[in-house]
Structure 1
């Protein structure tokens, strides 16, 4: 069952059980998926759906921070709950050891030898991680650390 199919099945269940908070969040996700599908003119696969969900989660976290700063804890709690719900549809995050191995192999494949090659290595690593749940900032920090520790060529 694809992520999209799971979302739609859960939407139907939320509708039947009258779970309004879950229903609102899932309707928002469904609308975002449909909008994206119209833009790309094909049905989203799991990798594209995962990327969209990650974007929506990031938006919820930013909104939570804004609401907390504005003193609206009620709205911040709603945004937090939506982010947690959306995270439940994402695959588990990639492990640190697996990420380290991917970065090491990408450095070897690209022949990177200095911090100047960060962009080249990042491109290779992120291509391998397509459709997986990963923090790009953490990947960048790992690549930067590994390239800084390598002897110059």
Structure 2
């Protein structure tokens, strides 16, 4: 069963359980899938679905921080709840130690020696660690390792 099918089944389960928050959050996610399918005229693979979920999580994080700055804790909590529903579908995230060791091997592979080589490392790391680590986290570690 594909990731998309799993999400669609979870929408149905949320409807049966009358869990409106989860149902609505997952419906927003499925509408994002449909939007991409229509715009790009393609069927989504599991990798595409993961990228869309990551994008949606990033948007929710940005919105939550803006709501927090505006003093709207109720809306911030809604965004954080949606993030929690979405993170279930992502692959297991790397721990700090795992991320650091993976990045060290990537740095060796591309032959990076200075901060000037960050672009090469980031390109390789983004492909290799897609879905398992956030781009901002990868960037932070690469800067520290190349410094």
Compute the displacement of 1:70 (Å): 2.1
**Is 1:141 matched up with 2:140?**
yes
- Inter-partner Cα distance in structure 2 for 1:127 and 1:33: 21
Deviation at 1:95, TM superposition (A): 2.6
Deviates more, 1:83-92 or 1:67-76: 67-76
Q: What's the C-alpha RMSD, in Å, of the aligned pairs?
A: 1.5
Structure 2: stretches of 5+ with no match in the other structure: none
- Alignment of 1:79 with 2:60, yes or no, is no
1:25-40 → structure 2 map (5 Å cutoff): 25-40=25-40
Q: Deviations over 1:15-64 (max 9, x none)?
A: 22222111111111010011112223222112211111111111112211
Distance 2:74 2:146 in 1: 44
Instruction: Name the structure 1 match of 2:94.
Output: 94
What TM-score comes out, normalization by structure 2 length?
Answer: 0.90
Cα separation, 2, equivalents of 1:146 and 1:74: 39
Structure 1 residue runs without a partner (length 5+): 149-153
Matches within 5 A, 1:3-82: 3-82=3-82
Question: Structure 1's 53 and 147: CA in aligned 2 closer, same or farther, altered over 3 A?
Answer: same
Shift in Å at residue 72 of structure 1? 2.1
Question: Which has the greater radius of gyration?
Answer: 1
| In 1, Cα distance between equivalents of 2:92 and 2:128 | 16
TM-aligned CA deviation for residue 68 of structure 1: 2.1
Tell me how far 1:124 sits from its aligned partner: 0.9
Aligned residues: 147
